[in-house]
Amino acid sequence: MPILGKQNGFTVLEILVAIIMLVIALLGMASVTVMVIKGNSYSKYTTTAATLANDKLEDLKHQAFDAGDLTEGEHQDADNPLQALYTRKWQVGAARDVTGAKVVMKTISVMVDWSWEGRQRNVTIRTIMANPNYY
C-alpha cells in the first residue's frame, strides 16, 4: 500500500479558479478595447469636422469684406453633405457704427454638423472680421 503524503501538481478546482480569473481579466480588457476604438472613431470625426470648419473660415477671411459669402445672414455650402456625412454652414452678423450706416465689423460663425451613433454632433468656430475701409 502506498503511503499518502505529499502530492505534486494542481487540483481540478485550482485550475478551474485560475481559468475563471483569466476569463474575467480578458473580458475586462476587451470592453476597454471597444471603448478605445469608439473614442478614436469619435476623435477622427471631430478632427475632420474641425478641419472643414477651419478651412471654410480661412476661405471667408481671405474674401473681400463685401463678398457675397459675407453678407448678413445664414449661408450653406453648395457641396453639402461634404464627404457624404458633414453639413457645413456659416452665419454672418454685422456690427454697425453709431449712425447705423456703415458696417464696422462682421462676426462669422462656421458650423459643421454630422451624425455619430444616432446623435447629432457639431463643431463651431467663430471669428471677427474688421472692415478695412472703415478707419
pLDDT (0 to 100) of residue 5 = 61
At residue 108, the pLDDT reads 96
b/e sequence 60-70, b meaning 16+ C-beta within 10 Å: beeeeeeeeeb
Q: In which residue ranges of the chain is pLDDT below 70? A: 1-7, 135
**pLDDT at residue 4, rounded to an integer:** 63
pTM score, two decimals? 0.77
pLDDT at 100: 83
Residue 125's pLDDT is what?
97
Q: What is the pLDDT of residue 8?
A: 75
Rounded distance between C-alpha atoms, residue 135 and residue 31, angstroms: 60
